[in-house]
Amino acid sequence: MARAVNRSIEAQHRNTLPEIDWADLVRPGCYVDEASGDLYRIPKEAFADGNSSLLVRESRGASRLRFLSDDPFMSSMKARIMCAQHNIPVNF
């Protein structure tokens, strides 16, 4: 007798987007704020030695970033698709 196999129609994620705190940000790339859905493009110049920080963020609320890509200039459409695949609302 043949055995029936049920398959879920929900997307299966084998990996998740790395979660990063603003204070731990040390590499350039494209990031999305998990709570607000804002996209941040952080170039390598933001981490240049001897320069003052190009990244300053002040907020009463804590926010977590999700790392999307090493390329800070990845297309907005690709970033939206990645967020949709990981159930992160977008605001860009």
Domain extents for the chain? 19-85
Task: Provide the whole-model pTM.
Answer: 0.77
Question: Distance between CA atoms of 72 and 30, rounded to whole angstroms?
Answer: 4
Q: What pLDDT is recorded for position 92?
A: 92
Residue 68 in tokens:
């999307």
What string of pLDDT tens digits covers the 92 residues of the chain?
A: 667 777 666 655 567 899 998 888 889 999 999 989 999 999 988 887 766 667 777 777 778 899 999 999 999 999 999 999 999 999 99
Contacts 24+ apart (CB under 8 A), 60-64: 61/35, 63/22, 63/33, 63/34, 63/35, 63/36, 64/19, 64/20, 64/21, 64/33, 64/34, 64/35
Q: What pLDDT is recorded for position 12?
A: 58
